[in-house]
C-alpha cells in the first residue's frame, strides 16, 4: 500500500519499505510478506499430483461452490506477515468423507485470498485508509475463482488490468520517465486499462464467518515445530 512521502511505521506487523524515488522525492509503502502464496498451487501439482498444470486447479475449483469446510494453511516454512511464526507448519483441516480434489483446489486458492485479506486488514489499521478496491497482478491474477473469492472476503471490488506483469511494467515505466519517454506519471496512468472487475457476491456476515474459521485454522498451525526452537 502506497502511503505517500512520509513513511508509516506499522503497529500491525507489516514492513515499511521504499516504493520508489522519483524526481528526488521518495514514496513509501506498507508491505505484507507471506512465504507461500501462488506456490501452493505448484505444491498441489508437483508434490501431491492432484493436477497436471496450474490452470487445472482453476477449472476444478470452479466445479464446486465452496471448499466444503476445507482449509489449507500453507505454513510450509512458517508464517510470514502478520503472524511471524517460524515454528508454524502447514495444516489441512476440515476433511470429511465428501472431500475431493476439487475442494483441495478451491481451498488452495482460498488460502491465497485469506492471507491477502489478513494483510489488507493490517494495512487499513496502520494507514487509516479504507480499501476502496484492490488492483491485482501476477500469475495468480489469472484465476477468476480466486479473484471472486478475494472480492467476497474484502467486500470490495477486485480489479485485474490487461497487463498482469505489474512489477516488470513498473520498472519499465520508471526507466521511461528517467529517459523522457513519458513526461509525467499522468502519462503512465493513461496507459493502465482495466480487464475485468469482480464485486462481492456474499453478505459481509458470511465473509466475517469465513475469516473467523480461517483464523481458527491459523491458530492450530502455529507453534507446531517447537523442537526446532
Encode 103-122 in three state secondary structure.
Answer: HHHHHHHHHHHHHHHHHHHH
Cell numbers of 7, please?
Answer: 513513511
Give the fold, CATH level 3, of 2-220. Answer: Nucleotidyltransferase; domain 5 (3.30.420)
**Cα–Cα distance, 57 to 17 (Å, whole number):** 33
Q: What is the DSSP letter of 160?
A: E
Q: Would you list the domain boundaries of the chain?
A: 2-220
Whether the predicted pLDDT of 163 surpasses 80: yes
pLDDT tens-place string over residues 52-74: 998 999 999 999 999 999 999 99
Task: Kindly tell me if the per-residue pLDDT of 149 is higher than 70.
Answer: yes
Residue 118 predicted with pLDDT over 60: yes
pTM: 0.94
Q: Which three cell numbers stand for residue 57?
A: 486447479
The grid coordinates listed for 52 are 497436471
Residue 56, φ and ψ in degrees, nearest 5: -60, -30
Rounded Cα gap, residues 109 and 147, in angstroms? 9
195, 161 in Cβ contact below 8 A? yes
Amino acid at each position: 500500500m502506497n502511503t505517500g512521502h512520509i513513511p508509516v511505521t506499522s503497529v500491525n506487523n507489516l514492513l515499511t519499505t521504499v516504493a520508489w524515488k522519483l524526481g528526488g522525492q521518495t514514496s513509501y509503502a506498507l508491505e505484507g510478506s507471506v512465504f507461500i502464496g501462488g506456490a501452493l498451487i505448484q505444491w498441489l501439482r508437483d508434490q501431491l499430483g492432484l493436477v497436471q498444470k496450474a490452470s487445472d486447479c482453476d477449472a476444478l475449483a470452479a466445479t464446486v461452490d465452496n471448499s466444503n469446510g476445507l482449509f489449507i494453511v500453507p505454513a510450509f516454512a512458517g508464517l510470514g506477515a502478520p503472524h511471524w511464526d517460524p515454528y508454524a507448519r502447514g495444516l489441512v483441516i476440515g476433511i470429511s468423507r465428501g472431500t475431493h480434489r476439487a475442494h483441495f483446489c478451491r481451498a488452495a486458492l482460498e488460502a491465497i485470498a485469506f492471507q491477502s485479506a489478513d494483510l489488507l486488514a493490517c494495512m487499513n489499521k496502520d494507514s487509516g485508509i479504507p480499501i476502496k478496491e484492490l488492483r491485482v497482478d501476477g500469475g495468480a491474477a489469472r484465476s477468476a475463482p480466486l479473484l471472486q473469492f478475494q472480492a467476497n472476503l474484502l467486500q470490495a471490488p477486485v480489479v485485474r488490468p490487461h497487463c498482469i506483469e505489474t512489477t516488470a511494467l513498473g520498472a519499465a515505466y520508471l526507466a521511461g520517465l528517467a529517459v523522457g519517454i513519458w513526461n509525467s506519471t499522468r502519462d503512465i496512468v493513461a496507459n493502465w486499462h482495466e480487464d475485468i472487475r469482480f464485486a462481492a457476491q456474499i453478505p459481509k456476515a458470511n465473509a466475517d464467518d469465513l475469516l473467523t474459521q480461517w483464523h481458527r485454522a491459523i491458530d492450530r498451525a502455529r507453534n507446531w515445530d517447537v523442537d526446532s526452537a
